[in-house]
Amino acid sequence: MQSTKYYLEKMNVTNINIKVLYNYLEQEFGRGELFPRFVIRRNFKKSIWEAVYLTDGQEKYGYAIYQKAPGFKGVFIAYLAILPKYQSKGLGSELIRQLNALFPDGILLEVEDPDAAKDEKDQATRLRRIRFYERNGLAVNPDMKVNTFFVPFRMMDNLGGTEAYDISFYQKLYNRILRLPLGSIFIKENR
């Protein structure tokens, strides 16, 4: 039996490809967790964001949307998901492994803060996500609890302390995404 060879395929930025990716985002995240479609489209068209698919050359199994920030060696992953029909098959770990190979200087991402969960089920889901990322080499930054557009997040990374970032860096990431200086208004430390 031959094992499947997975690799990352960069998304070619066309209107139809952005629309397909946005449909995937809506399946996994829902509109409340997404930037408006025009913001996502603009970020791809202006090369602020890039996307890769986890594929075997036949099927798309998952994706990551990321940005490279000036003065930051790693990348900020805005969205990362395995398509629902392929979840719980080890492909999330494969996607992270491939991203680590693509970005050896490290990755930074946000996870919903389990301390702000609405109930026990929500807290268990948030903790499960954190454990998944920890198993795949990321760690919660104990110094970064943020409130982003009224949603409490924790920051996770695999930078190993080699790349410092703080709230002002995180605000600048969102200023680039939104093309407006809203980061300092809508992103606050949540202590």
Least confident of 35-44, 76-85, 151-160: 151-160
Q: Token digits for 82?
A: 């395995």
pLDDT range class, residue 3, cuts 50, 70, 90: low
32 versus 185: which is more confidently predicted? 32
Q: Distance (Å, rounded) from C-alpha 48 to C-alpha 132?
A: 27
Domain boundaries, the chain: 7-189
> Would you say residue 162 has pLDDT above 60?
no
Per-residue pLDDT tens for 54-108?
A: 999 999 999 999 998 877 888 999 999 999 999 999 999 999 999 999 999 889 9
**What number is the average pLDDT over the span 116-132?**
93
pLDDT of residue 2: 45
pLDDT of residue 168: 74
Three-state secondary structure of the chain:
CCCCCCEEEECCCCHHHHHHHHHHHHHHHCHHHCCCHHHHHHHHHCCCCEEEEEECCCCEEEEEEEEECCCCCCEEEEEEEECHHHCCCCHHHHHHHHHHHHCCCCEEEEEECHHHCCCHHHHHHHHHHHHHHHHCCCEEEEEEEEEECCEEEEEEECCCCCCCCCHHHHHHHHHHHHCCCCHHHHEEECC
Residues ≥6 apart with Cβ < 8 Å to 63: 11, 21, 24, 51, 52, 53, 54, 79, 80, 81
> Would you say residue 147 has pLDDT above 50?
yes
Q: Token digits for 113?
A: 């803060």
Query: Residue 86 carries which side chain, given as an amino acid letter?
Result: Y
Query: Residue 179 carries which side chain, given as an amino acid letter?
Result: R
**What number is the average pLDDT over the span 131-159?**
85
Q: Distance (Å, rounded) from C-alpha 13 to C-alpha 86?
A: 24
pLDDT of residue 1: 38
Alpha carbon 96 to chain centroid, angstroms? 11
Could you give the percent of the chain with pLDDT greater than 70? 84
pLDDT of residue 149: 66
pLDDT of residue 74: 85
* Bridge partner list, 7: 55
29 versus 121: which is more confidently predicted? 121
The CATH H-level superfamily of 7-189 is Gcn5-related N-acetyltransferase (GNAT) (3.40.630.30)
Q: Token digits for 146?
A: 């943020």
